[in-house]
A and B are shown apart, each in its own frame.
Chain A
Amino acid sequence: MKIVACIKQTFDTEAKIVIGGDGQISDEGVNLIVNPYDEFAVEEAIRTKEKDGGEVVVVTVGGDKAQEALRYCLAMGADRAVLINDPALVGADSGAVSVALAKLLSEKEAGFDIIFAGKEAVDYGAAQVPSRLAEKLDLAQANVVTAFELSDGKATATREIDGGSETLELALPALISAQKGLNEVRYPSLPGIMKAKRKPLEVLALADLGLSADDVASKIELVSAELPPARKAGQRLTGEVDEVVAKLVQLLQEEAKVI
């Protein structure tokens, strides 16, 4: 079985966001991590392999530093990694990223049985790549998945919907996007880290995929980024519980008009 996990390197969730002189978000001094939802995807890919055999290939579109994220996944237990790294992909939008991934997965890395991805990346929170990829590769998909099982060539997935959950059956090959709760992510063991150094990590440019810069031209353009207006501390209510509660209810009714 060939299992693919799509990952992205993102800012640490604790990172302080600073807008640089160019009006764009600065990544200077920011700690980079594997997108937390993608960790669930990698974990599920490894578990699937441990159960049913096969190999796990982690793939990403990113710059040189993204190798660190891929190595981390290899240390967790993935077998190989592929990085698509090309100047034309700097700042690529979700559409462009999915074009590059779809090309990789339909040609050079064709023949997969299942693709895992995170439900969204915590940086841009667009949640587009998995669904776009499923469309481009003509796959059955389950989004925001909290439980997954594979038996007799059929996948069963539980996904979150607004106000509840649904259980789906998908024919393979399929794409699953992972939500928190799908599994408990392992830490790479130290022997895993040592082995990761020797596992294959292939770096491909667009030309290696038979794509040109035009094929991955972004359709959306970030015009500017700004910090949201800071929320200010409001009133502090202190005193006897009864008085405080009465005051609060009065404010909610008369000032905020929300109850």
Chain B
Amino acid sequence: MSIVVCAEQRDGSLRKITFEALSEGKRLAEASGETLKALLIGSGIAGLADELKKYGVDEVAVVDNEALAAYAADSYAAVLGAYIAQENPALVLFGHSAVGKELAPRTAAKVDCGLVSDCIAISFADGDYLFSHPVYAGKAIGKYKVAGPVRMATLRPNVFAVAESEGAGAVVDFAPEITASKVTITGAEMASGDRPELTEADIICSGGRGLGGPEGFALIEGLADALGAAVGSSRAAVDAGWREHAAQVGQTGKVVSPNLYVASGISGAIQHLAGMGSSKYIVGINKDGEANIFNVADYGVEGDLNKVIPALIEKLKELQ
């Protein structure tokens, strides 16, 4: 049997989460003795198969069809359903990305299997997989088993390490019957600028009410540029209209786990921590020595952000 990774591409480039899922898939395949396969869906994307081979896949199944040029949950789930019916894998992995969050459950309903969403760890022991999924916004971690034969999981981005490895690397075509989507995409708008996407970023600089106004975000953007970071926000700053909701980190915003999270003028409310508590390193910049952010920060800078951030930007520039 096999472990299948549903590869995610957008406009002809593979998403980082796909490499993370393949690397984790490989590790699990070695533990369980399964083969690792990837399913690549799209139009004119056959060339991407080579890139997938770097992560130890034994086989890449390519579904290349014009009707699948744009991602849609219903038509993609139909393809996955057909592939799973043919392949009967033990485990199917998706990224917990905007696409995976929608496609995985839709596919799970199609093939009637159990799915654990937003996993931060998967292990294989005693002949079964154990999935760890943070619940209550990370306030607890649930460990789950899934009744087979097919199991599914979506993986939280930025948590699983990427590692290249060897695999048989065969590429096969898969050509199921395509069902037309009931949905038409009429437009798309990508956030401008070349800052990384919040959930994929290695470094995130966030600002809160302590910035004092929308102009305060200029400081955060300056720092983000110096670090090659994405920009996030607390809810207070979003509610005040200083930043769009897409930038909100926390329980009712994005859940992120970068290597470095710099929180400036953010008090560290429990709902904010729910979104960034799993960051590897946290820096808190706050003028209030009692601010809760200092209870979780690896490095706590007690001071006025209007002085600290410009000095920090200067220092980082010196290094470059």
Q: Quick one: closest B residue to A98, CB to CB?
A: B109
Do residues B137 and A122 form an inter-chain contact, with CB atoms below 8 A? yes
Whole-angstrom distance between the alpha carbons of A227 and B283 in the complex? 23
**B312 CB within 8 Å of chain A:** yes
Is there a chain B Cβ closer than 8 Å to A171's Cβ?
A: yes
A228 close to B186 (CB less than 8 A):
no
Interface positions, chain A 74-100, Cβ under 8 Å from B, are 93-95, 98
CB–CB B73/A131 < 8 A: yes
A162-B299 contact in complex given A15-B136, A169-B184, A228-B277, C-beta closer than 8 Å: no
Size class of B's contact patch?
A: 35 or more
Cα–Cα distance between A135 and B199 once the two chains are bound (Å):
27
Kindly list chain B residues whose C-beta atoms are within 8 Å of the C-beta of A123: 135-136
Chain A 208-232 against B: per-residue CB contact (8 Å), 1 yes, 0 no? 0000000000111111111110010
Nearest-CB residue, chain B, relative to A143: B102
Q: Which of B134-156 contact A (CB under 8 A)?
A: 134-147
Is there a chain B Cβ closer than 8 Å to A144's Cβ?
yes
B residues 236-257 in Cβ contact with A at 8 Å: 245-246, 248, 251-253
* A141 interface neighbour in B10, B74, B136, Cβ under 8 Å: B74
Interface of A is mostly: mixed
Residue A9, interface by CB 8 Å:
no
Decide if B54 is an interface residue (CB 8 Å cutoff): no
Q: Which residue of B lies closest to A144 (CB)?
A: B98
Identify the closest chain A residue to B199 (Cβ). A162
Give the residues in chain B near A249, CB-CB below 8 Å: 312, 315-316, 319
Nearest Cβ distance between residue A197 and chain B, in whole angstroms?
30
- Tell me which residues from 101 to 129 in chain B have a Cβ below 8 Å from any Cβ of chain A: 101-110, 112-118
Q: Is the Cβ of A241 less than 8 Å from the Cβ of B303? A: yes
Q: With an 8 A cutoff between CB atoms, is A139 at the interface? A: yes
Flag whether A114 is at the interface (Cβ < 8 A). no
Does A237 lie within 8 Å of B143, measured CB to CB? Answer: no
Q: Are A223 and B144 in contact (CB under 8 A)?
A: yes
Q: Which of A19, A131, A231 contacts B296 (CB 8 A)?
A: A231
Chain A CB within 10 Å — which of B112, B135, B278, B312 has the most?
Answer: B135
A126-B136 CB under 8 A given contacts A132-B109, A231-B277: no
The answer to whether A180 and B183 touch across the interface, beta carbons within 8 angstroms, is no
- Residues of B213-258 whose CB lies within 8 A of A: 227, 245-246, 248, 251-253
A151 within 8 A of B: no
A146 to B189, CA, bound (A): 13
CB of B153, distance to nearest CB on chain A (Å):
10
Shortest Cβ-Cβ A-B pairs, 5 listed: A219-B114, A140-B182, A164-B190, A234-B298, A135-B109
A interface residues with partner B (beta carbon < 8 Å): 11, 13-17, 19, 25, 36-37, 93-95, 98, 122-136, 139-144, 146, 156, 159-171, 174, 180-181, 218-228, 231, 233-238, 241-242, 244-246, 248-249, 251-252, 256, 258-259
Q: Residues of B with Cβ closer than 8 Å to A?
A: 10, 15, 73-74, 77, 97-99, 101-110, 112-118, 130, 133-147, 181-191, 197, 199-200, 202-203, 227, 245-246, 248, 251-253, 259-260, 270-271, 277-278, 280-283, 294-303, 307-308, 311-312, 314-316, 319
Interface pairs (30), CB distance under 8 Å: A25-B140, A36-B252, A124-B142, A125-B133, A127-B105, A128-B117, A131-B105, A131-B109, A143-B73, A170-B184, A180-B253, A219-B146, A219-B147, A220-B115, A222-B144, A225-B141, A228-B140, A228-B141, A228-B277, A233-B296, A233-B300, A234-B300, A235-B298, A241-B308, A252-B283, A256-B260, A256-B299, A258-B203, A259-B227, A259-B260
